[in-house]
Structure 1
Amino acid sequence: MNLSLVTPVYNEQDNLPLLFEAINKVMPTMNRTWEVILVDDGSQDNSLAVLNEYAKKDPAHVRVISFRRNFGQTAAIAAGLDYAQGEIIVLLDADMQNDPADIPMMLAKLDEGYDLVSGWRKSRKDNAITRNFPSMIANRIISRVTGVHLHDYGCTLKAYRRDVLEGFRLYGEMHRFIPVYAHSVGAKITEMAVNHHPRKHGKTKYGLERTAKVVLDLFTVKFLISYSSKPIYLFGGAGGFLMVVSAIIMLYLFVRRIFFLVAIATSPLLQMSAMFFILGFQSILLGLIAELLVRTYHESQRKPTYTIRTMINLEQDPRD
């Protein structure tokens, strides 16, 4: 299988016929074997019935996964990735705001040597206040914190080589951070402008509250990317900083006592210094415990601490 399209579906019964029409118009023009995996995320309308109908009409290309209840877009994407068989995986939404006609151009970019092509809704057709502006702010924050500079993390339409999607699991709203995970294993990433259409049927499932969830997930992603293999750098650094602050306060108290005869024991700064020292020491101990857990995790599951792009004259896995 050359290409897998993965599409989460939630209450999109009226958009699905348009989606299948667009896919069937584009995919046969490419000289690739392909499949489309549609994950019904507990839809409450007739989306599942529509999916079953198309799966019966085209069993060679259409695969359907149905959740028992609504687990969210990230879970639906994770399920699609788990069952996808293609060497290249393209994610797109079912609401027809993404345009399947952009897929050939994205695949052409992959053929130039990239591992991930991210769609950029340059002319986005959404509400400017509730959707576009919060998304712009979130994109800038994510780019600044992670170092992976993309204009549009929220655009589902992205093309990936399978090997950059292996080795991590998706939770919460973390599907938008897949480029960050891919970058952490050395993926070559590019971005291209794609079409974006106004929604014709149904209503959006996202609001302003999603921005807060994304920011909270960003803390998790930053920790996993930067400190998951060396947590002592985070905990030890924080602990060392607190202990230095404690030492500075204590030095200030001694100087004040010697030169200005101000009592140390009655000053609240003494309690602050002791508290900072204890917190710093505990933070360093937490870092050491986290280091033990990381080593146990990697060694018990035989997970490598590196990723390989290619090998020449080597086939045997050294861990076998």
Structure 2
Amino acid sequence: MATPPAVLPAPSVRKPPPAPAEPRIVPRRKPGQWAAAAVALLLAAMAAASVVRNDAFQWGVVADWFTARSVLNGLGLTLWLTGLTLTLGFLFGTLLATMRLSANPVLRTLSWAYIWVFRSTPPLVQLLFFFNIGALYPTLGLGIPFGPEFVTVRTVNLIGPTLTAVIGLTLLESAYAAEVIRGGILSVDRGQLEAAAALGLGRWRVLRRIVVPQAMRAIVPSAGNMLIGALKGTSIVSVLAVSDLLYSVQLVYLQSYQVIPMLVVATLWYLVVTTVLSIGQYYVERHFARGATRDGLPPTPLHRARTAVRTAARAAVHRAARS
């Protein structure tokens, strides 16, 4: 009888060593930043508490006068003056910027001299100068230089306090607007203009489709700062007895001697209006920043808030389902 063949033992298989665990990245601790943040938060809380608990602010008086008719009328005049002077300033500033960029040396020199004069003198001095223009020029005429005048107008009857404020602020804002517009135009790459000329595009189409959209990315931030500065700068017209927001509250506290609460009323209105303008500036900047980056625009604060609310709601639903 044949013996069965011997069964050889199976060769042992070595198990591969376990893969090393991936190292966990731990952010570096920054105790100094947290300590500085805690100190800053403590100081901010102390400042807020001192404002809220200080009876000298008279918050009840502030609430009574915040929506008073005289204050709202002054606020309306401030907004009207800001919008009118800034609009006229940018229209005139566009002309000045075009003159600065012109190849004509006479136009460049005249534009530069205008900007130099109005940026070098204080706004209050300019307003007082225009308000007293009647002492220097009692009459203004239109006619032939060094010859007869055809139309003559007395400046005393022509320029009042409100018109003086409009003229002075418009001439001032136009000098700053000219530099803002000129800087925005110069920020456009010259290579794109050369490429547009090589494609045979007209000058108006190049200006409308290439120059202006790219220049606005540099113009809008500075223009927004100019808008907010013009809003606050209109307060200097109170020296001319123009009934803007500041002059309206001044009339109230000169009669009631409630100086601090009335100044708080004006401050709060300036804060409200500048906040609204800042929000508008943010969305205008986003509009002209489209296509500037390949990754797209970051989400707005409203989108972030919606995302946070949705995430919190989903987490609450999951916790409820598990329980």
Answer 1 or 2: which has greater helix percent: 2
Give the alignment's TM-score, normalised by structure 2. 0.23
Higher strand share: 1
Q: Say which one has the larger Rg.
A: 2
